[in-house]
């Protein structure tokens, strides 16, 4: 890994979180899967605990995709990904971003749960493709009825 990333590298890296958001919003397992390394981890625990929810660390691409689609698939969701920042320190590439996620009961937008989270993702080039190897989400703020997120 060189300490310098090309403009194309930076676009490809930023695209990872856009694919995650679109994969979740469309319940598209293939698109969501395309963003994660086979042995990736996804830790939504800090953001979930902010809202009083317990959410396990998801380990491995299959568990990540199944866990996220399983948790959100019955909801209408809208993810906005902003402020991507890509840094390289000691050969490690880190992508930080803000994600605002609106959650509504499917077909009923009279109630909502809105989250603004800070995501820190470690990324690596695997077989020539940039993938998330680990992701941690921490909440900045929430609004609305957490029961929406819980499917109640």
- In the chain, pLDDT over 70 holds for what percent of residues? 98
Q: For strand 36-43 and strand 129-144, is the pairing parallel, antiparallel, or unpaired?
A: parallel
H helix count then E strand count, the chain: 5, 6
CA 105/CA 126 separation, integer angstroms: 37
Condensed to tens digits (0 to 9), the pLDDT of residues 61-94 reads 999 999 999 999 889 999 999 999 999 988 899 9
CA 23/CA 11 separation, integer angstroms: 18
> What is the pTM for the complete model shown?
0.93
Could you tell me if 111 and 81 are in contact, meaning their C-beta atoms sit under 8 angstroms apart? no
Q: What residues have CB less than 8 Å from 10, skipping those under 6 apart?
A: 86
């Amino acid at each position: 890994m060189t300490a310098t990333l090309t403009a194309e590298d930076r676009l490809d890296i930023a695209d990872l979180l856009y694919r995650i958001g679109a994969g979740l919003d469309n319940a598209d397992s293939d698109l969501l899967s395309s963003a994660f390394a086979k042995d990736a981890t996804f830790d939504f625990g800090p953001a979930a605990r902010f809202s009083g929810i317990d959410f396990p660390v998801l380990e491995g691409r299959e568990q990540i995709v199944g866990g996220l689609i399983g948790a959100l698939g019955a909801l209408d969701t809208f993810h906005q990904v902003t402020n991507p920042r890509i840094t390289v320190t000691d050969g490690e590439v880190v992508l930080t971003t803000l994600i605002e996620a609106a959650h509504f009961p499917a077909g009923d937008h009279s109630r909502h749960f809105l989250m603004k989270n800070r995501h820190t993702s470690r990324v690596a080039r695997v077989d020539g493709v940039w993938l998330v190897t680990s992701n941690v989400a921490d909440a900045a703020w929430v609004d609305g009825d957490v029961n929406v997120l819980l499917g109640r």
